[in-house]
Homo-oligomer: A and B are copies of this chain.
Amino acid sequence: MPKDTTAASLSATEAARKIRDGELTSEELVQSCLERIAELEDAIGAWTHLDKDYALAQARAAQDRRQAGESLGPLHGVPVAIKDIFDTHDMPTENGTVLHAGRQPKSDSTVVSLLRQAGAIIMGKTVTTELAVLHPGKTANPHDLKRTPGGSSSGSAAAVASFMVPLATGSQTNGSMIRPASFCGVYGFKPSHGLISRHGVLLQSRFLDQIGVFARSLEDIALMAEVLIAHDPQDPDTRPHAAPRMVKTAAGEPPMPPRLAFAATPAWDEFADGDTKEAFPELLQHLGIGADSLNLGPAFEQIYGWHKTVMGADQAMNYRREYERGKDKLSPTLVDAIEQGQKVLAVDYNEAMATRDGLNRLLSEIFDTYDAILTPAAAGQAPLGLETTGNPVFCTPWTFCGVPAISLPLLEGSDGLPMGVQLVGPRGDDARLLRTARWLIEAVSGEAAL
């Protein structure tokens, strides 16, 4: 993507500073983003709902608040794109299925509510795959329109990559944050399970669903994550905890150079493509990391099966109404997944769920020695064709364990397309993972990342 020189090309952090300092108005920024969208949306198809006048009206209201001397939130005046599975009281939320066409929630999801409190402009709703599973929407990859942007957070990743907005929300039940971030060449961060509330977000699997953020810089990732990480009694998996200092920690110097371990993972042999198998050894050599892959032990080979068991059974339960009332309007892949899930036994389901604590203990031992695990974000570049969204297999173990993961756009494949490097950290130590990520970016680029 050619870097835009208009306001739309600013990072969220820069834009928020300029707006605060009076160098830029929210309306100018939103107008610039809308121009970018007008130029590219026909080709990319990132949006499912966008009301230009309403976006501009929000921007003018933000200016009014600033002029009235009200205290300004950290995202004051900055437009954010919302994946169309997050409820919005003022925009439809259709969850990527015709079965929910015209669905208008009565209230905001907690994430959208927190963004509004932080001063953000809710720009519109972005394309999700069908019910946030595999069947793709209309979105194309901004780097090559013949390729998938990845899924399920397809529109959010593509909108950020094409400078339509600086920030977007996403979610991951298998590989729906990290994979599209990798394919679209943006930063995608999925904090630990239970850090960001899922209240008002399409429920696919309580055990697996995790909320994340897209941006074009690590600093922006930290800025948005800090706004969204909050205890919410309406999500039973969030917990009260001290407010995280994501921005400050991510910007800080590590006390000593972080130690990284490479994990090829059990998916490497079968699924990593030629670009990945070439790029990662080079990266490891550049970083002076031993190319020996971390031995994650035999339990990790079983994660893919456990994940399928839990996700299938949860889809069968949570999408039962859609299946019963509109099976003929669902994709054959989803119908098949639901029907497989209907057959899952409770003992198998519960035994799969019961493995997570033990897996996290195994990971803890690794994280006693290493600051983060370095591993591919996807099998390679975005694959050709819009009929699939690529393989989530390099995300599955980390989603299942509920550990924080981030995709950094540091590599390029043989067709000149972006490839992400995934960093994975210990559960709950999300701020430190961002600090390690910043160190890695600087180590690869030779430039300061923040």
Which residues of A does B touch, CB under 8 Å?
Answer: 240, 309, 313-314, 316-317, 320, 341-351, 354
What is the CB-to-nearest-CB distance from A320 to chain B, in angstroms, rounded to a whole number? 7
What is the CB-to-nearest-CB distance from A291 to chain B, in angstroms, rounded to a whole number? 39
Please name the 9 residue pairs, one residue from A and one from B, whose CB atoms are nearest each other, closest first.
Answer: A313-B346, A346-B349, A344-B346, A317-B350, A316-B347, A317-B347, A346-B346, A342-B347, A317-B351
Per the bound structure, the CA–CA distance linking A351 and B349 in Å amounts to 13
What are 29 A-B interface contacts by the 8 Å CB criterion? A240-B240, A309-B346, A313-B346, A313-B347, A313-B350, A314-B350, A316-B346, A316-B347, A317-B346, A317-B347, A317-B350, A317-B351, A317-B354, A320-B347, A341-B346, A341-B347, A342-B345, A342-B347, A343-B345, A344-B345, A344-B346, A344-B347, A345-B345, A345-B346, A346-B346, A346-B348, A346-B349, A349-B349, A349-B350
What is the CB-to-nearest-CB distance from A370 to chain B, in angstroms, rounded to a whole number? 25
Q: Among A314, A343, A347, A348, find the residue whose CB has the most chain B CB atoms closer than 10 A.
A: A347
What residues of B have a CB within 8 angstroms of the CB of A344 in the complex? 345-347
Per the bound structure, the CA–CA distance linking A343 and B346 in Å amounts to 8
Per the bound structure, the CA–CA distance linking A348 and B317 in Å amounts to 8
What is the CB-to-nearest-CB distance from A118 to chain B, in angstroms, rounded to a whole number? 27
What is the CB-to-nearest-CB distance from A319 to chain B, in angstroms, rounded to a whole number? 11
Nearest B-chain residue to A350, judged by Cβ:
B317
What is the CB-to-nearest-CB distance from A281 to chain B, in angstroms, rounded to a whole number? 41
Per the bound structure, the CA–CA distance linking A348 and B320 in Å amounts to 11
Per the bound structure, the CA–CA distance linking A258 and B289 in Å amounts to 70
What is the CB-to-nearest-CB distance from A327 to chain B, in angstroms, rounded to a whole number? 15
Nearest B-chain residue to A313, judged by Cβ:
B346
Nearest B-chain residue to A342, judged by Cβ:
B347
Q: Among A314, A342, A345, find the residue whose CB has the most chain B CB atoms closer than 10 A.
A: A345
Per the bound structure, the CA–CA distance linking A193 and B320 in Å amounts to 29
Per the bound structure, the CA–CA distance linking A240 and B240 in Å amounts to 9
Per the bound structure, the CA–CA distance linking A314 and B317 in Å amounts to 18
Q: Among A313, A345, A346, A348, find the residue whose CB has the most chain B CB atoms closer than 10 A.
A: A346
What residues of B have a CB within 8 angstroms of the CB of A349 in the complex? 346, 349-350
What is the CB-to-nearest-CB distance from A143 to chain B, in angstroms, rounded to a whole number? 40
Per the bound structure, the CA–CA distance linking A284 and B449 in Å amounts to 75
Q: Among A316, A320, A348, A349, find the residue whose CB has the most chain B CB atoms closer than 10 A.
A: A349
Per the bound structure, the CA–CA distance linking A62 and B172 in Å amounts to 56
Per the bound structure, the CA–CA distance linking A350 and B348 in Å amounts to 13
